Structure formats: structure tokens, C-alpha cells
Amino acid sequence: MTSAMKTTDLLKIAKKYGDPVYVYDSEKIISQFNRLTNAFNGVKSLKLNYAAKALSNITILRLLNSLGSGLDTVSIQEVKLGLLAGFKPENIIFTPNGVSLEEIEKASALGVQINIDNLSILEQFGGKYPDVPVCIRINPHVMAGGNSKISVGHIDSKFGISIHQIPHLLRIVELTQMNINGIHMHTGSDILDIDVFLYASEILFETAKNFKDLDFIDFGSGFKVPYKEGDIETNIEELGKKLGNRFNEFCKEYGRELTLAFEPGKFLVSEAGSFLAKVNVVKQTTSTVFASIDSGFNHLIRPMLYSASHQIKNLSNPDGRERYYSVVGYICETDTFASNKRINEISEGNILCFKNAGAYCFTMASNYNSRFRPPEVLWHNGKAILIRERETFDDLIKNQVDVKDIFETIKEKVSAK
Ligand SMILES: *Cc1c(COP(=O)(O)O)cnc(C)c1O
């Protein structure tokens, strides 16, 4: 295919739609989806449920729906967005954490698969709707991540029902006569080690044996993608072989063909995204050279929130001499995107490109400093398609109630003094 994105395409997009701007390459999303599917081709029934929270633009959701993906959702709003994007309710799984019984009831009424992650709600939901099939989220207490900020499988994690509580869980299921049709885990957002993942999977298989009517086992996500040169990437092909074989073995043992489910976010969309921003100021201090861009953590918070390292390229001067820069934003806070990065020489007005800007970038953007959230553009079949407009001043004030007349008396009091 010759429709792969080039530097000149990105620069044209920045020119046409302004900066900053998010750009997503549909081809990369499609190839990642196919890669994951192919890695598990030894399994009879595979279900990928794209984690909407990574990148929830409705056109991106439509793309994934058209590929045959299901949708993993964490709020009733994401459920509704999925339905609006054309997902069938039975292809949506609702995997929230700490939400109210009412929200779970609403999602269930829309016909989506419910996944419950605590015993209190399980007992209440099971008591009220014993006929609705429910998946349960198990916490196997395995640390599959390298970064403690994003590993959720450990003992003090708020996610999932502890494997140590299985006896209590079984008692609730027995007393309510509810139907458990799936077992789920999501151990964190960075699987470094396939063996750790397989170890956690054994705990899931062991748990699964307690339930007679399962349709699927959901292994969550946490596939690692490379963010910087030399980064380790989950060996999906190896995981596919090893887990696939073990899964098939388990199904024999279990006596029924089950569906193997995953809910990847980052793996599918991270590398497809680029974030383009313009350098407003190059500022030399006694210790460093700052490149200040027309953005901040209001648009891209991962570097500040997770110490995530996004590669930064200077699109305007790709062959320039490399120098060390600290790339910072224009927000009135410390908003350092990167320190001491080697980047092709930067001049004011240059366009910088942040790589891996597909997952948890736009969806975490805010209006801090009363700035607009940027537009989103999809690169598809060699064409740039606007899929979200830049916000305007009207968007900023849309929901504000501008109460004008209640302070009149204050003025009178002040002037009376
Ligand atoms: C966020 C989330 C995912 C996606 O994780 P990635 O690291 O983006 O693949 C999957 N499952 C659940 C329950 C999640 O909360």
C-alpha cells in the first residue's frame, strides 16, 4: 500500500486544520487488529473487545466495529457511544470499577454484557436479576506490569474480586442462583513478561472450574507497545501460541468450547496516533534549551501523569543537526513533555510530532487554562478526514450559567461604605 503517512502529509494536516492537532492512521489500527487476531488463530473462538477509553472518537469506534471488534466500556456513556457507533449490544461488555448499582442496571437494560468487580454489587445484582448472565472480574494478585503506577493486579488494588474471596463469591452465586457466564481479569497496562501473564491465566482457569455455564474467559489487556527506541514490546505471536494452546487444553478439560476474549486499547490505537504542535518559543537558559509548544498537559498528560516517554520528532527540520532540548508546554504549571531529548534543531514555528499519541491522549484532554481541545483527523486511504472539530469559545461557556444580577446588592453595600 502506498497510502502510508509521510512527514509531508502530517505537515499538510497541521497547515490545513491548524495546530495542535491529533492525527490517527487507520492502516495502523487495522494492522494491529489483524496481528492480534492472527496471533490467536489456533483458538476456535476469539473475541477482541476494543477498550473504548483509549480513544473514543465515534469514527474510530466505527472503524473497529467494521473490523469485527467488540467494545469494552467502563461507563454508561461509553456504552451509549458504542451503540451510537453501531455496535450491537451483545458485542459490548461493561467493565466498570466502583460504579453504582443503578448504572449497572442501566447498562444491563441496554442489553450489554455485565462484568461485576465486587461482591457487594454482585450480591445486589444477583438478588434482583438472577436470570441475567454476569461476568465476574477476578483479581489474581499478580503484578504483570513494570510500572507500579499502572499495575492493578497487586494485593491492595481496588480492581476485581480477590481470588481469596472465591468461597464468599461462590456462596453468593449459590444463594442468588445467578448465572455466571464469564470470568475476567485485567492485571495492568504493561505486560512485560509472558510467563507472568501465563501464571495469572492459570489462576483464572482454576477459578473457572467453579462455574458450569461459562461462555467465555476474558484475559483483559496490558499488551505493551514500544514508546521509545529500544523499548520491549509484548511478543504477541509467542503469547498467542502459548496461551492459545493452554486455552484449548483447558476447554477440553472443561468439556466445552469457550470463547477467549481480550480487551486491548493501547495495542490497537497507540502507535496509530500522532500529536502535532507548534513551537512558540525557543528559550535558552543557563542550563538548558526549552522548546515551548502551543500545548500542555491539557492536551497530552501522559508524560506528566505516568512519566510516559513519547518520541518527539521535528517535522519541519527532519535532517537538521540533533541538539538537546527540554520540550515544555504553555500551561501555567510545570508541564514538561520531555527533558534532554535529542531532536533535530528546532526553530520557532516548527511543527513537532509526538508519537504513540493514539491511546489515552485525546481522551484525557481537558480545558485547563480555558484552552480548546484540539481537533482529530483520521488518515484513511491516503486522505485526511476531520473526525472532530477544534473547540470554540462557545464550547467553553456552553454549560456555564452566567448569573448576572445576584451581585447587585454587593456593589451597593461596597459603595455605601
Ligand atoms: C483500560 C482497560 C483496558 C485496556 O488496557 P490497555 O492497556 O489500553 O490495553 C482493558 N480492560 C480494562 C478493564 C480496562 O480498564
Q: Confirm whether 75 is domain-assigned.
A: yes
Domain assignment present for 30: no
Which atom of ligand 1 is nearest to 188's Cα? 7
pLDDT at 162: 93
**Ligand 1 atom with least separation from CA of 189:** 7
**Residue located nearest, by CA, to atom 6 of ligand 1:** 265
Q: How far is the CA of 89 from the centre of ligand 1 (A)?
A: 19
Q: Are residues 318 and 348 located together in one domain of the fold?
A: yes
**Residue 42 predicted with pLDDT over 80:** yes
Could you tell me the distance, in angstroms and rounded to a whole number, from the CA of residue 189 to the centre of ligand 1? 7
Give the C-alpha separation, 340 to 287, whole Å: 11
Segment 144-159 shows an average pLDDT of: 58
Calculate what percentage of the chain has a pLDDT beyond 90. 82
**Annotated active-site positions, please?**
332
What predicted TM-score, i.e. pTM, was given to this entire model?
A: 0.94
Range with lowest mean pLDDT among 211-215, 276-280, 403-407: 403-407
- Which residues on adjacent β-strands are paired with residue 314? 352
Residues 109 and 212 in one domain: yes
Instruction: Check: CB of residue 107 under 8 Å from CB of residue 86.
Output: no
Question: For residue 189, is pLDDT > 60?
Answer: no
Residue 409 vs residue 8, higher pLDDT: 8
Co-location of 143 and 125 in the same domain: yes
Q: Is 168 helix (H, G, I), strand (E, B) or coil?
A: helix
User: In the numeric block, which cell numbers belong to residue 186?
Assistant: 485485567
Say if residue 147 is in the same domain as residue 296: no
Q: How far is the CA of 262 from the centre of ligand 1 (A)?
A: 9
Q: What average pLDDT score do residues 373-395 get?
A: 98
**pLDDT classification of 150: cutoffs 50, 70, 90:** very low
> Following CA atoms 59, 63, 65, 69 in sequence, which dihedral angle do they give, to the nearest 10 degrees?
-130
Q: What is the CATH number of the domain that holds 331?
A: 2.40.37.10
Residue 2 falls within a domain, yes or no? no
Instruction: Say how many Å lie between the CA of residue 118 and the centre of ligand 1.
Output: 18
Query: In this predicted structure, what is the pLDDT of residue 187?
Result: 76
Mean pLDDT across the chain, nearest whole number? 93
* Count of structural domains within the chain: 2
Whether 286 is in a domain gets the answer yes
What atom in ligand 1 is closest to the CA of residue 222? 7
Q: Is the pLDDT of residue 147 over 60?
A: no
According to DSSP, the β-strands at 351-354 and 312-314 are: antiparallel
Average pLDDT over residues 227-243: 89
291 & 346 share domain? yes
pLDDT given for residue 315 in this prediction: 98
Give the atom of ligand 1 at the shortest distance from the alpha carbon of 266. 8
- 249 lies in the same domain as 150: yes
Least confident segment among 82-91, 105-114, 230-239, 288-297? 230-239
SS (H, E, C) 224-250: CCCCCCCCCCCCHHHHHHHHHHHHHHH
Mutate-to-test residue for ligand 1 from 93, 221, 269, highest number of ligand atoms within 8 A of CB:
221
User: Considering 230, 264, 298, which residue would you say is the last residue of a domain?
Assistant: 264
From 240, 264, 288, the end of a domain falls on 264
* Shared domain check, 223 and 105: yes
Same domain, 204 and 244: yes
Q: Which residues are near ligand 1 (CB < 6 Å)?
A: 51, 53-54, 72, 74, 95, 186, 189, 220-223, 263-267, 359
Residue 408 lies in a domain: no
Question: Domain for residue 15, yes or no?
Answer: no
Q: Mean pLDDT across the stretch 293-322? A: 96
Residue range of the domain that includes 206: 40-264
pLDDT in tens, 94-137: 999 999 999 999 999 999 999 999 999 999 999 999 999 999 99
Question: 171 CB contacts (<8 Å, ≥6 apart)?
Answer: none
Flag whether pLDDT at 161 surpasses 60.
Answer: yes
Give the closest residue (by CA) to ligand 1 atom 2.
51
Q: Please give the average per-residue pLDDT across 199-206, as a whole number.
A: 93
- For the chain, the straight-line distance linking the first and the last C-alpha, in angstroms and rounded, comes to 77
pLDDT digits (tens, 9 = 90+) for 260-297: 999 999 999 999 999 999 999 999 999 999 999 999 99
Alpha-carbon distance of 137 to 220, in angstroms, equals 10
Report, as an integer, the average pLDDT of 174-182: 97
Using 50, 70 and 90 to split pLDDT, how confident is the model at 229? confident
Cβ atoms of residues 312 and 346 within 8 Å: no
If asked whether residues 100 and 213 sit together in one domain, one would say yes
Stretch 242-252: mean pLDDT: 97
Task: Using alpha carbons, list the distances in angstroms from residue 170 to 76, 176, 177.
Answer: 27, 10, 10
Q: Are residues 107 and 191 in the same domain?
A: yes
Tell whether 31 is covered by a domain.
Answer: no
What are the phi and psi torsion angles at 48 (to 5°)?
Answer: -100, 120
Instruction: Name, in order, each residue with C-beta under 8 angstroms of 411's C-beta and a sequence gap of 6 or more.
Output: none
Coil, helix or strand at residue 180? strand
Residue bearing the bigger pLDDT, 146 or 272: 272
- 69 and 198 part of one domain: yes
Same-domain pairing of 210 and 279: no
- Cell numbers 436479576: residue: 129
We report the CATH number of the domain holding residue 255 as 3.20.20.10
Q: Which of 29, 263, 267 to mutate to test the pocket of ligand 1 (most atoms within 8 A of CB)?
A: 263
Q: What is the pLDDT of residue 320?
A: 98
Q: For position 191, what pLDDT does the model report?
A: 62
Q: What is the DSSP letter of 209?
A: T
The ligand 1 atom at the shortest distance from the C-alpha of residue 360 is: 8
Cα-to-centroid distance, 162 and ligand 1 (Å): 18
- Dist. CA 40–CA 237, nearest whole Å: 8
pLDDT at 169 over 90: yes
End residue of a domain, out of 216, 237, 264: 264
Cα(169) to centroid(ligand 1), Å? 24
Residue 152 located in a structural domain = yes
Closest CA to 113 of 206, 183, 60: 183
